Amino acid sequence: MAQLFFKYGAMNSGKSIEIIKVAHNYEEQGKPVLLFTSGLDDRDEVGSISSRIGFKRTAIPIFAETDIFNMVRNYHPRPHCVLVDEAQFLTKTHVLQLAKIVDECNIPVMGFGLKNDFRNELFEGSKYLLLYADKVEEMKTICWFCERKATMNLRIDSNGKPVYTGDQIQIGGNESYYPVCRRCYLHPPI
């Protein structure tokens, strides 16, 4: 029976490399998958899943008006799995569409993304994946500054100083965010 999975973690926890690995494992067995990613993420290029260690895959970009359910339902050959990177940027409607893919098409769906933003607030997509997912799994990484588990994302400005206010969405990598533990989030050693 298919299920909806949400695999979340702080920045640098290996979410993108994991989605590429899962896709490879299915495809190596001759089982097609559909890869999606947020149309907001333009770090590499729109419609691209890129890991920090250099692996890259083309994916279907998701925008506000994208109907994921109909895309998957009408796709041939029928995918054995649907994989979604940057799932924190999904809307509630998108998450409900993913649940519908699982429930009506019996296709497993795995969403990978951040749980919380740099202000330590839930993203919309993450909130609804936490509510609707059949299984939730944390992907772990270590704090940028100490040896504790990173559970938060610290935004930094161009001078390397912490930022705690501003727009929720600012696309960036190590030049803009560090994975940190709670202590280093509240009292960063920079």
Which of the following is catalytic: 18, 28, 65, 86? Answer: 86
Q: Are 86 and 58 in contact (CB under 8 A)?
A: no
pLDDT tens across 39-75, in order?
Answer: 876 666 878 898 878 889 999 999 999 999 999 999 9
173 assigned binding-site residue: no
Residue type, 150: A
Binding site annotation covers 146? Answer: yes
| pLDDT tens digits, 80-136 | 999 999 999 999 999 999 999 999 999 999 999 999 999 999 999 999 999 999 999
**Residue 87 marked in a binding site:** yes
CA dihedral 66, 71, 73, 79 (to 10 degrees): -120
Q: Is 160 annotated as ligand-binding?
A: no
Q: Is 45 a catalytic residue?
A: no
Q: What predicted TM-score, i.e. pTM, was given to this entire model?
A: 0.93
